[in-house]
Amino acid sequence: MPELALLGGSRTRSTPFPPWPQYDDGELAALRQVLESRQWWRTPGTQTLTFERSFAAAHGAKYGIAVTNGTHAIEVVMHALGVGYGDEIIVPDSTFIATASAVLSVGALPVLVDVDPKTYNIDPKQVEAAITPRTKAIIAVHMGGMPADMDALLDIANRHHLPLIEDSSHAHGSEWKGSRIGALGFAGTFSFQASKTMTAGEGGIILTNDAEFERIARSVTDCGRMPGHSGYEHFIYASNYRLSEWQGALLNVQLTRMDAQTKLRHHNASLLDEILGGIKGLTPQLLDERCTRNGHYLYMFHYDPVAFGGLPTARFIEAVHAEGIPTQASYPPLSALEVFRGGNYKKRIPPGMPDDALRHAPFPNSERIMREVVCLPHATLMGGASDLEEIGTAMLKIQEFVSELM
């Protein structure tokens, strides 16, 4: 009889990991409060305003601007910075499409650069090499929750007089040298989409310490209005990116759990690093010693097929999932997506403007991540030590009986 669950054997884990999203009577009471207040729109309401201030304070920022989603958060930043035709924004090749599509939304060019092979974050050396007179900003993504090298990136940004934007959609509560990410650069953006470590189904927020930028960014989200003027005075081209009171109410309660949940994931990930690090062929994402807390939207590790008899990564992931351990797909490199590979993105760039987003290709590290990095969702880190041991047991079982899969 086969040992591996994929072929009919018994599963290593038969019970589910903690469910996500998590909620209790707090969310129910908050939603009822909004319902009964009849103030469902953020402008006269208080829930979203309270959340903006609380989330900003929790991350060491002066200002928070809640918006409809994480993609729009980056788009608003681009608008508020005045990014437009002929401008270039440096972004990592290994990220979700929104990091680059937000740049294209204002007619600017996302210039892709490779990532560090151990942290999976944007490579500062590649960033500096990509700067041109047209560069308007740098976007760093804290992949999986692990902060990018903020020391090196801030040094580069300051020397070249460029704003550093933190795409922090994976990194709620993450810390760099004891300080929360999201307010270390010029501005930070977060997502509250359903899978994120804080969620209202959808939603996002922009953090900054710059008062003038906050004024313009808030106007961008609110149809071009400006503080101190009537609701029918509009001063800049803008749109409506406002977050509703319903989502603000949910996020106020979600925020009360952020510290404890982040601490638990960071602790459990450190234990899982030891377990998987002891299995030949599995190398956890590097935890930089300057990262004092990793929010761990994803737990990521490199899989070496050679140590598993040449078993392809896709087949390994299939076997892991069959053993009762959930996985989450790695992001394909932006350079591998049809929108970039086929040149469709160039339709967003005006004629006569530089339009080579892939000028720094090849991207060997982001391509390797797509082929050989395995991601576990953050719910796998929300339990106890026995859950982590079962993850390790499943990996060892696959390695021991890998011949069954060949």
| CA nearest to 271, candidates 118, 390, 174 | 390
Element (H, E) at 292: strand 291-293
Q: What are phi and psi of 136, to 5 degrees?
A: -110, -25
Tokens of 15: 């019970």
- Residue 278 phi, psi dihedral angles, 5° rounding: -90, 0
Which residue's entry shows tokens 């681009």? 78
Q: Rounded to a whole number, what is the distance in angstroms from the first to the last CA of the chain? A: 16
Q: Which amino acid is at 356?
A: D
**Active-site residue, from 62, 118, 136, 196:** 196
CA distances from 128 to 123, 131, 160 (A): 9, 6, 9
Q: Are 174 and 294 in contact (CB under 8 A)?
A: yes
Q: Are strands 135-141 and 88-92 parallel, antiparallel or unpaired?
A: parallel
196 is catalytic: yes
Give the position of tokens 């509703």.
Answer: 244
Residues 212 and 101: their CA atoms lie apart, in Å, by 25
* Active-site amino acid positions: 196
